[in-house]
């Protein structure tokens, strides 16, 4: 499967932004001691970056959302394998549908069919 470079790039930027925020929190809470300041800084980071990560990995704006599961029965060839399911893209949404997973080979075929239909994958 292809890596979504927009999501990956945004995640790397987010990761770099967390460093100065957590460092500043450690400086401000240094009077608590190293252990407590570190715990507090990580909790504050979690409160902030949970929402940022949630946006990065669920936003429709950033591209196709895939669901991957281990050991599923392919809905096309009935082989037991790692299963892939395109959930949502800009002009395709199966988030409310019954999940239909495909093995990698069948998923690639389906992806090509969707592209031919004009779906942005």
pLDDT in tens, 18-70: 999 899 999 999 999 999 999 999 999 999 999 999 888 877 677 677 889 99
Contact 51, 62 (CB under 8 A): no
Please tell me the pTM assigned to this model. 0.51
Residue that the structure tokens 């500043």 belong to:
24
pLDDT in the model for residue 37: 93
CA geometry: angle at 21 spanning 60 and 55, to 5°?
10
3-class secondary structure, 81: strand
Q: Which residues contact 88 (CB under 8 A, 6 or more apart)?
A: 60, 64, 65, 94, 95
Min mean pLDDT across 4-8, 32-36, 42-46, 96-100 is at 4-8
Query: Which residue from 73, 80, 78, 75 is spatially nearest to 94, judged by alpha carbons?
Result: 75
């Amino acid at each position: 499967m292809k890596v979504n470079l927009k999501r990956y790039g945004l995640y790397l930027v987010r990761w770099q932004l967390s460093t100065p925020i957590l460092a500043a929190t450690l400086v401000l809470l240094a009077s608590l001691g190293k252990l407590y300041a570190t715990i507090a800084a990580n909790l504050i980071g979690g409160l902030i970056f949970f929402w940022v990560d949630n946006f990065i990995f669920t936003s429709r704006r950033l591209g196709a959302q895939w669901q991957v599961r281990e050991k599923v029965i392919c809905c096309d060839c009935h082989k037991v394998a790692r299963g892939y399911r395109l959930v949502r893209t800009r002009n395709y949404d199966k988030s409310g549908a019954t999940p239909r997973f495909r093995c990698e080979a069948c998923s690639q075929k389906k992806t090509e069919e969707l592209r031919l239909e004009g779906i942005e994958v």
